[in-house]
């Protein structure tokens, strides 16, 4: 392995300290460009050959008053020389650009963690806005941390002075100065960011120049000034990463591309009907830019119109998609019933957010599982699948389109705020790997009935307007099993209810059997999850197995119908722990459907699981079991 | 449609489905479905290219009785469904059938937006000023004081005027007719069909069970000539049994007054000429109420503008023309990428 080194101020080569993984959290005011700073650091870190995961966390307010605690925006990145599965339980380094950022994030630090902060921002006014009575840099309250106080504001102003910007514009380069310092700290290449700044400020070259000057000055500062605590910089070695072409991808991007790919395979016009809602709007923004793929995006007047337009699109022979978050999905519920009754394909994306009602719009939770599976009037079955990471959204997008068309059913895709906004490196696949057979519209008038069914899947025929000889009427009133005409016949309603349920149940014949993501197919304990808990559960299980615990990780993509073999698979474990960011919805589903004595590990703070939380829960349970076993043996 | 392609002119029957009509005996909807079927036959439209979309209510059963494609959807949402259909396949000829509750209560928002977007559909609003299917509650078009199961001592809220609402929402085609005036209705429907963009047609429809004769004041034979004015583009606004009454602007005010031809030297030249491109005139006509004024029927307003699905399609076509080789694999590789070597 290459020996990492850095040059000290006197020209002497000093060894950089090696780290396996690092978690850096950038925190500052919403207006400080924190997300942008994080994005740049992510890119150069990927280029440096580290694996990584990021977690952007920003306030719901668009421009919260500067300097306040509720205006703090953060971006956390976990990177390292091994597979990185989460954004990290807590930061090793906190970069706080003002007192509010320090105040909000301090609780997540452990003694000995590093804080880099801009002392220039600790003015009386800013301290007051952050709710500090005394300057925490001076009152000894930060004793247990390793604080590196730098007057970043002053340094930035000095660095960009030759360019002659206004004080306000000059101070806006503070984030780049800080980024330069962090680049030095972790030995990152500045060039990609310099190139990017050049492109970004093409029309205002003086701003580009100033930002580049700030970046370089921050880097030079690290090189030449002895940082408090004799920090000499770190080296993080490259991870063992599968060779190939990579990019960073957010869940929003991957999902939009997956839907486009699915529509291409299906040879159908992709139609998105959507109404803006946090954190789901990204999909609307992204698909609106893909018109050259024939994508139609329709910003509807409300959530009901958004799904209804999508249903109209599918009725007319396109693939209708609608996207929202929990409260918006609630508004779409009646129309979902229509799509189920009319047996039309439809993809409904729910980027879940935290809390009931308006809740915590920018925070993450998994509390809409029941809403997805059961949340409609009457027996109204549909398919539910979940994405487990940003990159996974691509495959899930394709899969949603495939199931919707093949089984003539609405499919709910559960994503969440974390998946939609977080990014991870992605080994870019050849899309041909995911291709499926395009659907055939029904054209044969002889013997046509609108509810003719495929004998295997029970999907009804798709006969679209414009087809001569197939003129027919559908709607939300119960239909005759054969003719599709209105029917109030009691036995017919039973039969139609049964066939709708069986049709959705048979989707499980068409999806792969469940296997553990990590570990054996039987053992002491299975930790079961779905959605964005994939990373923390996976890392926890890997760590626990390293310690000798007999535990496997089972992560579900298909939530309704459940995989056919799931009951048998879970029966092979002494205990089943379902870890989810809600109060126990998948746990109840598994108990109810499979009669497994699943237990829950639940959290609803609006924040992802920490790896340590899952590790602790598994250890406690397995050790308790062990004690019980031992006791039993003693008793015998 | 198969049989229309033959040399024989289609008949209204060619557009009737095999389903038995299930409205109350004497319902105005019977006359409307017959008028629509006759209109489609006169226009010889293709059954397979025609879609009837409806929401919920008595009127919304309409699609089941047409031998075209039909989608009976949910309460108030038909305009949104129709928008999705039209954007996906602009070739389809779409009629939305709605009632006063469906279009102006639960679906008021969708009506507003389909009108302002100007999606190329025909929107027929059967106005009977009552909720029929839910058994007679007052509706958003019911007059103040309407006694109904939900307003036993009379309704208190002021009604919405459908045509005025449509004009306010920037509809580019607003017309009115009456269920029983077959020829007039058919002509209005033909004009609506010919118009590109949303054609809004309010049809006064009698609910024989819950609101019988609510429009009798201007539809009954003995009063109709004096209580209605059938407007026609380019023709003077004249009405009355003797065709001797007309509308003119009151001196010094922006308001109509009824003038009698020959009275005090009033000649035809003093009467306003209908200009269906004039939205101000259309709004004034829409607000006329018997008995002081005649009820205005016919095409009140027609001023075509670009239809929504056409501009949406044009934008997509431009994007496709600018990127003829759009490829998903290339899309995934756009932007910043890096190679990891073994």
What whole-number distance in Å separates Cα of residue A195 and Cα of residue A208? 10
Comparing A169-173, A399-403, B115-119, which segment has the lowest mean pLDDT?
A: A169-173
**Average pLDDT rounded to a whole number, residues A295-323:** 98
Closest CA to B74 of B53, B93, B92: B53
**Average pLDDT rounded to a whole number, residues A597-623:** 95
What whole-number distance in Å separates Cα of residue A551 and Cα of residue A618? 8
Q: Do A261 and B51 touch (CB under 8 A)?
A: no
Percentage of residues of chain A with pLDDT beyond 70: 97
Which of B20, B55, B81, B342 to probe the A interface (max A CBs under 10 A)?
Answer: B81
**Would B189 be classed as within a structural domain?**
yes
Which of B37, B61, B63, B73 to probe the A interface (max A CBs under 10 A)?
Answer: B73
In chain B, what residues touch A290 (CB-CB under 8 Å)? 331
**Average pLDDT rounded to a whole number, residues B38-64:** 97
The residue whose two tokens read 């949910």 is B74
In chain A, what residues touch B53 (CB-CB under 8 Å)? 312
A313 in B contact zone (CB under 8 Å): yes
Comparing A537-541, A630-634, B175-179, which segment has the lowest mean pLDDT?
A: A630-634
pLDDT surpasses 50 at B1: no
In chain A, what residues touch B71 (CB-CB under 8 Å)? 312, 315, 342, 473-475
Residue A531 burial class via C-beta count within 10 angstroms: exposed 0-12, middle 13-18, buried 19 and up:
buried
Total-model pTM: 0.93
pLDDT of residue A636: 63
What whole-number distance in Å separates Cα of residue A589 and Cα of residue A598? 10
* CB proximity list for B160: less than 8 A, separation 6 or greater: B104, B108, B140, B141
A110 in B contact zone (CB under 8 Å): no
CB A9 within 8 A of CB A87: no
pLDDT of residue A2: 38
B328 in A contact zone (CB under 8 Å): yes
The shortest C-alpha distance from B184 to chain A (Å) reads: 28
Count of structural domains within chain B: 1
In chain B, what residues touch A261 (CB-CB under 8 Å)? 328
**Would B223 be classed as within a structural domain?**
no
**Would B336 be classed as within a structural domain?**
no
The shortest C-alpha distance from B121 to chain A (Å) reads: 14
**Would B174 be classed as within a structural domain?**
yes
**Would B192 be classed as within a structural domain?**
yes
pLDDT of residue B75: 98
Distance in angstroms between the alpha carbons of the first and the last residue of chain B:
62
Calculate ∠ Cα A360-A362-A364, nearest 5°.
80
pLDDT of residue A14: 59
Q: Domain span at residue B182? A: 12-214
The residue whose two tokens read 């770190």 is A234
pLDDT of residue B247: 98
**Would B287 be classed as within a structural domain?**
no
**Average pLDDT rounded to a whole number, residues A115-129:** 96
pLDDT of residue A246: 95
CB atoms within 10 A of CB A271: 27
pLDDT of residue B279: 97
What is the per-residue pLDDT across B306-329, written as a single tens digit (0 to 9) for each?
999 999 999 999 999 999 999 999
The shortest C-alpha distance from A145 to chain B (Å) reads: 37
Torsion sign over Cα A273, A275, A279, A283: positive
What is the per-residue pLDDT across A129-168, written as a single tens digit (0 to 9) for each?
999 999 999 999 999 999 999 999 999 999 999 999 999 9
The shortest C-alpha distance from B50 to chain A (Å) reads: 7
For chain B positions 10-49, those within 8 Å of chain A (CB to CB) are 17, 19, 46-49
Residues comprising chain A, all counted: 636
- pLDDT grade, residue A422 (50/70/90)? confident
CB B247 within 8 A of CB B300: no
Q: What is the CATH number of the domain that holds B70?
A: 3.40.50.970
* CB proximity list for A568: less than 8 A, separation 6 or greater: none
Report the mean per-residue pLDDT for chain A: 94
Measured in degrees and rounded to the nearest 5, phi and psi for residue B317 equal -60, -40
Q: Which of A316, A468, A474 sits opposite B85 (nearest CB)?
A: A316
DSSP letter, residue A187:
T
CA dihedral angle for residue A88, residue A91, residue A94, residue A98, rounded to 10 degrees: 70
**Would B50 be classed as within a structural domain?**
yes
Q: Which of A47, A335, A428 sits opposite B332 (nearest CB)?
A: A428
pLDDT surpasses 50 at A4: no
DSSP letter, residue B236:
B
Report the mean per-residue pLDDT for chain B: 96
* CB proximity list for B168: less than 8 A, separation 6 or greater: none
pLDDT of residue A8: 45
pLDDT surpasses 70 at A606: yes
Examine residue A279 and say whether the peptide bond preceding it is cis (omega within 30 degrees of 0). yes
pLDDT of residue A630: 78
Q: Do B337 and A245 touch (CB under 8 A)?
A: yes
What is the per-residue pLDDT across B109-139, written as a single tens digit (0 to 9) for each?
999 999 999 999 999 999 999 999 999 999 9
Q: Do A316 and B84 touch (CB under 8 A)?
A: yes
**Would B323 be classed as within a structural domain?**
no
- pLDDT grade, residue A6 (50/70/90)? very low
**Average pLDDT rounded to a whole number, residues A415-423:** 90
**Average pLDDT rounded to a whole number, residues A284-313:** 98
pLDDT surpasses 80 at A629: no
Residue A177, classed as helix, strand or coil, is: helix
The residue whose two tokens read 């055939």 is A440
**Average pLDDT rounded to a whole number, residues A496-511:** 98
Comparing A631-635, B150-154, B232-236, which segment has the lowest mean pLDDT?
A: A631-635
Residue A302, classed as helix, strand or coil, is: coil
In chain A, what residues touch B315 (CB-CB under 8 Å)? 291
Helix axis angle for B78-88 and B108-117, nearest 10°, is: 30
In chain B, what residues touch A293 (CB-CB under 8 Å)? 326, 328, 331
């Amino acid at each position: 392995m290459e020996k990492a080194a850095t040059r000290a101020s006197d020209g002497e080569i000093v060894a950089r300290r090696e780290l396996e993984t690092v978690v850096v959290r950038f925190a500052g005011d919403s207006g400080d460009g924190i997300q942008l700073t994080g994005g740049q650091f992510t890119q150069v870190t990927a280029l440096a050959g580290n694996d990584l995961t990021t977690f952007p966390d920003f306030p719901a307010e668009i421009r919260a008053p500067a300097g306040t605690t509720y205006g703090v925006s953060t971006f956390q990145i976990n990177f390292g020389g091994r597979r990185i599965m989460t954004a990290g339980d807590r930061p090793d380094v906190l970069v706080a650009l003002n007192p509010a950022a320090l105040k909000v994030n301090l609780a997540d630090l452990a003694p000995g963690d590093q804080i880099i902060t801009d002392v220039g921002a600790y003015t009386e006014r800013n301290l007051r806005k952050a709710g500090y009575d005394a300057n925490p840099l001076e009152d000894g309250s930060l004793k247990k941390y390793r604080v590196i106080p730098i007057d970043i504001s002053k340094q930035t102003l000095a660095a960009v002075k030759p360019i002659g910007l206004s004080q306000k514009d000059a101070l806006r380069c503070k984030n780049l100065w800080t980024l330069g310092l962090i680049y030095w700290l972790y030995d990152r290449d500045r060039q990609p960011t310099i190139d990017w700044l050049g492109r970004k400020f093409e029309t205002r070259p003086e701003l580009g120049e100033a930002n580049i000057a700030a970046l370089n000055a921050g880097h030079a500062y690290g090189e030449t000034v002895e940082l408090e605590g004799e920090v000499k910089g770190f080296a993080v070695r490259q991870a063992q990463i599968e060779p190939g072409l990579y990019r960073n991808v957010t869940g929003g991007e991957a999902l939009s591309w997956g839907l486009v790919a699915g529509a291409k395979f299906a040879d159908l016009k992709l139609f998105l009907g959507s109404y803006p809602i946090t954190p789901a709007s990204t999909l609307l923004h992204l698909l609106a830019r893909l018109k050259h793929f024939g994508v139609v995006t329709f910003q509807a007047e409300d959530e009901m119109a958004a799904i209804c337009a999508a249903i109209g699109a599918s009725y007319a022979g396109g693939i209708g998609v609608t996207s929202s978050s929990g409260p918006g999905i609630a508004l779409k519920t009646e129309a979902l019933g229509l799509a189920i009754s009319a047996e039309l394909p439809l993809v409904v994306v729910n980027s879940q957010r935290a809390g009931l009602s308006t809740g915590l719009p920018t925070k993450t939770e998994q509390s809409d599982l029941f809403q997805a599976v059961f949340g409609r009037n009457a027996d109204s079955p549909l398919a539910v699948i979940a994405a487990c990471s940003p990159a996974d959204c691509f495959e899930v997008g394709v899969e949603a389109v495939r199931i919707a068309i093949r089984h003539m059913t609405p499919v709910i895709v559960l994503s969440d705020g974390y998946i939609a906004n977080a990014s991870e490196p992605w080994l870019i696949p050849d899309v041909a790997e995911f291709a499926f057979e395009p659907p055939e519209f029904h054209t044969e008038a002889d013997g046509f009935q609108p509810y003719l069914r495929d004998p295997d899947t029970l999907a009804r025929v798709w006969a679209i307007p414009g087809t001569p000889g197939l003129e027919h009427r559908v709607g939300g009133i119960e239909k005759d099993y054969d003719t599709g005409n209105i029917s109030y016949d009691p036995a017919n309603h039973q039969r139609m209810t049964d066939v709708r349920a069986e049709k959705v149940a048979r989707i499980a014949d068409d999806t792969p059997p469940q296997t553990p993501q990590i570990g054996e197919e039987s053992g002491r304990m299975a930790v079961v999850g779905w959605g964005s808990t994939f990373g923390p559960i996976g890392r926890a299980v890997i760590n626990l197995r390293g310690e000798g615990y007999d535990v496997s990780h089972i992560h579900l993509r298909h939530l309704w119908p459940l995989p056919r073999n799931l009951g048998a698979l879970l029966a092979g474990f002494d205990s089943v722990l379902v870890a989810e960011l809600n109060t126990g919805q998948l746990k109840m589903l598994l108990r109810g459907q499979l009669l497994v004595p699943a237990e829950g590990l639940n959290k609803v703070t609006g924040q992802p699981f920490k790896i340590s939380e899952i590790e602790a829960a598994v250890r406690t349970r397995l050790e308790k079991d062990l004690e019980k076993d031992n006791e039993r043996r003693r008793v015998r | 449609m198969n049989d229309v392609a033959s040399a024989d002119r289609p008949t209204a029957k060619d557009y009737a489905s095999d389903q038995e009509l299930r409205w109350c005996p004497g319902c105005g909807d019977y006359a409307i479905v017959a008028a629509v079927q006759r209109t489609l036959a006169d226009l010889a439209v293709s059954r397979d290219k025609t879609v009837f979309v409806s929401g919920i209510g008595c009127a919304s059963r309409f699609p089941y009785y047409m031998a075209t494609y039909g989608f009976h959807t949910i309460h108030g949402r038909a305009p949104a469904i129709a928008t999705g259909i039209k954007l996906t396949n602009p070739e389809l000829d779409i009629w939305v059938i709605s009632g006063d509750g469906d279009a102006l209560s639960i679906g008021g928002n969708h009506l507003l937006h389909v009108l302002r977007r100007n999606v190329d559909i025909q929107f027929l609003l059967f106005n009977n000023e009552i909720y029929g299917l839910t058994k007679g509650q007052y509706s958003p078009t019911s007059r103040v004081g309407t006694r109904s199961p939900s307003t036993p001592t009379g309704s208190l809220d002021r009604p919405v005027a459908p045509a005025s609402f449509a004009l306010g929402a920037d509809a580019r085609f607003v017309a009115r007719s009456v269920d029983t005036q077959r020829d007039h209705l058919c002509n209005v429907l033909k004009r609506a069909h010919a118009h590109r963009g949303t054609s809004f047609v309010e049809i006064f429809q009698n609910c024989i069970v819950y609101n019988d004769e609510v429009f009798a004041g201007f539809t009954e034979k003995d009063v109709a000539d004096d209580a209605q004015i059938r407007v026609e583009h380019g023709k003077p606004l004249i009405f009355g049994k003797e065709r001797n009454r007309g509308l003119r602007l009151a001196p010094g005010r922006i308001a109509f007054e009824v003038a009698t031809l020959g009275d005090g030297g009033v000649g035809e030249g003093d009467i306003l000429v209908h200009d269906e491109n004039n939205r101000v005139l259309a709004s004034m006509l829409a607000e006329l109420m018997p008995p002081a004024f005649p009820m205005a029927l016919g095409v009140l307003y027609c001023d075509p503008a670009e239809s929504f699905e056409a501009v949406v399609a044009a934008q997509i076509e431009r994007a496709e023309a600018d990127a003829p080789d759009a490829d998903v694999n290339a899309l995934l590789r756009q932007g910043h990428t890096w190679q990891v070597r073994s």
